[in-house]
Structure 1
């Protein structure tokens, strides 16, 4: 099992607490303030879960004692049936043949969920089981969803929304075309490590399809009051980290993808890092100083820290 040493909480937790206090003070205090939304982005296996657990624990315990809801963009994936339908509707686009890329999430469900959380209305938080259908995954039965803001429950005051593409913003079509052409140019150069650029492997129309779908995610991204970005010094680390995760899943449940399937799976969403990570690194929030970027090494330890 991969052991993740948490050297991120010491920086991230105080940063969030400061932003939260500013939010509460601007709205008359903790009781009257509307829910505080935190976005957390990180490639799979970088240590998001460990950080989220510590952040949630801190906010729930005294002296803060706040009701917290933790959401994952993974729980918003399309049902298996809808994902199969999407794949069949776009048979030549390898990026949507399985869950992962923008466009494979249920945005209607996301919009309903976020609207209810903003207004402190009763809602059920969906859950997704990645081990179903031999690792293809499926949404869990509604009876297993988590009830939030129900009668008799304290209203959620902090929402933590985590995921590998949380905070990604769509580019213009011209920007996508430029990146695709640059990828082809680098690939054609002699003695180049073309594995570091994957866009050339895909048709331009496939990349533009994903980019167009990402525009709909702004309804989520624009909700964030603070953003944490766990960035990798080399995005290729995601292959190693994702292989470790799936190995642990197979060990725990007896189900999951093989190593070959994992590599193919990562290939399917790696282009999104190339297309959209640079914009996130520059900052996606309107209020300056509310985004924190931690760059980690292959061992997942923090190398650099930036406040954006």
Structure 2
């Protein structure tokens, strides 16, 4: 009998069609089945099956390229020559730098994917600092949260001088156990503006009359010390005031000596300076001093500040001898 013409495998046709349409999983399955059955049944279509595999590979390569491009677009932002954000880019939060502004806060937290933009455009978030925690072993969930809060508090202290301090809320991000075990030690310190939106960096909102205790210098005059505020407001010494800084100095370098030893060093230094400064002149009614706590000391702060205070009436001129 005459030879029966070989039929074209329907599986091979299906492999080519689904491969061209980008249905990769179906195309690969049809192509493999067609190739396995082609020899046993005398069916044609081996070329079609291979074509389906080739078409699928094109889709796979294109998909990978799209993923790479997309990943690249959320791990970097457009910056000008000075390094400032120049456009509006969706970006994973951890790829922002200290000083970058963004939007993306939700009611109680922040999204991982945010929109970075120049600080002159309306925004509600800013990266205050990025730092790395020390240690090899994971310290535990509570301990790492406490370490992060302490470190970010120190890095954010200068924001206490902002005109908008009442509307600023800190948000800190730290690695979980999985990230820590993979080598991630990075902490991100953020601040959220809750008063609407800002159109400037928070650093531009600092009030020069407000100072942290270790920023005060000899001659600075203040009203009554406000125990509820971290930054104190300085005033002209010709205006009514109660307190004046008469000296500041650095405590002896070295490891943290303990709270009592730090206090003794500050007291001794301030009393010696007061004795010299006010010899032959009226001394303040009260003298007292401030000195760094352990976390401040370990961050490099060795400053002691000496204060003179009037107890019964406000002053309208400097208490420092000329």
Q: With the length of structure 2 as denominator, give the TM-score of the two structures.
A: 0.22
**Which structure is larger by alpha-carbon Rg, 1 or 2?**
2
Between structures 1 and 2, the one with greater helix share: 1
Higher strand share: 2
TM-score (norm 1): 0.23
